[in-house]
C-alpha cells in the first residue's frame, strides 16, 4: 500500500522557529519587550561582580572537566612501539582508549597506514595495542572492568 506523507505545515514550522530563536509570533497577543543583545549568550551568570565566586566556579568546572576526561583511565604502553595511551575497560567487549598526538605518531600500525595514504582515524584499532591492553590486564596493571565511578557520579 502506498502511503503519502503529508507536507509539513510551513507556516506553523516557521512560527515555531522564530519563537525558538527569540523572535515573536505576529499572531501572538502577548508581546514581550525584546532584550538588548550583548553579542553573546550565557546559560548561567558570569559573576563579574563577585570575582571570588567566579574563580571558585572556574576551578570547580576545571576539576569536573578533568575528572570527566580522565576518570578511571590508566596509561598503557604498547609493547611493540612504546606509544602510551590512556585506557579504561568498560566491559569485556568495550575498551575506551584515548590517543594523544605523540602516541598517534609513534604507533607503527598507524605509521604504516599513513605510508599507504590512509588516515589513522580510519582504522578501527591497533591490534598490537589491543594485545598490550590484554597483557596489562593479565599483569594486573589494568582492571578487566573499571571500578572507577562514572564521571557524573560525584
Q: What is the pLDDT of residues 2-52, one digit of tens each?
A: 555 565 677 777 777 777 776 654 544 444 444 555 566 667 777 888 999
Residue 133 belongs to what domain range? 73-139
Region at 6 (left for phi over 0; alpha for psi -120 to 50; beta for the rest):
beta
Tally the domains of the chain: 1
Q: Work out the percent of the chain whose per-residue pLDDT is above 70.
A: 78
Q: What pLDDT was estimated at residue 84?
A: 96
pLDDT digits (tens, 9 = 90+) for 133-150: 999 999 999 999 988 877
Does the residue 97 lie in any domain? yes
- Cα torsion 123, 124, 128, 130 to 10°: value is 160
Q: What pLDDT was estimated at residue 117?
A: 92
Does the residue 83 lie in any domain? yes
Cα separation of the two ends of the chain: 53
Nearest to 75 by CA among 127, 126, 118, 136: 136
Q: What pLDDT was estimated at residue 32?
A: 46
Q: What pLDDT was estimated at residue 7?
A: 59
Does the residue 58 lie in any domain? no
Does the residue 19 lie in any domain? no
In this structure, what are the phi and psi dihedrals at residue 107, rounded to the nearest 5 degrees? -60, 120
H helices then E strands: how many in the chain? 5, 3
Does the residue 81 lie in any domain? yes
Does the residue 118 lie in any domain? yes
How would residue 120 be classed by pLDDT, with cut points 50, 70 and 90?
A: confident
**3-class SS of residue 97:** strand
**3-class SS of residue 113:** helix
Nearest to 81 by CA among 113, 114, 103, 112: 103
Does the residue 66 lie in any domain? no
Does the residue 124 lie in any domain? yes
How would residue 132 be classed by pLDDT, with cut points 50, 70 and 90?
A: very high
Amino acid at each position: 500500500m502506498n502511503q503519502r506523507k503529508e507536507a509539513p505545515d510551513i507556516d506553523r514550522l516557521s512560527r515555531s522557529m522564530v519563537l525558538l530563536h527569540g523572535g515573536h509570533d505576529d499572531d501572538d497577543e502577548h508581546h514581550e519587550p525584546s532584550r538588548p543583545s550583548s553579542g553573546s549568550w550565557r546559560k548561567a551568570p558570569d559573576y563579574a561582580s563577585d570575582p571570588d565566586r567566579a574563580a571558585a566556579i572556574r576551578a570547580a568546572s576545571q576539576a569536573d572537566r578533568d575528572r570527566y576526561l580522565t576518570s578511571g583511565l590508566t596509561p598503557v604502553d604498547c609493547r611493540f612501539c612504546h606509544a602510551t595511551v590512556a585506557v579504561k575497560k568498560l566491559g569485556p567487549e568495550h575498551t575506551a582508549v584515548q590517543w594523544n598526538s605523540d602516541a598517534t605518531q609513534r604507533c607503527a600500525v598507524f605509521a604504516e597506514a599513513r605510508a599507504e595514504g590512509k588516515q589513522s582515524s580510519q582504522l578501527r584499532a591497533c591490534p598490537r595495542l589491543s594485545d598490550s591492553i590484554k597483557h596489562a590486564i593479565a599483569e594486573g596493571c589494568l582492571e578487566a572492568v573499571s571500578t572507577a565511578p562514572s564521571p557524573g557520579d560525584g
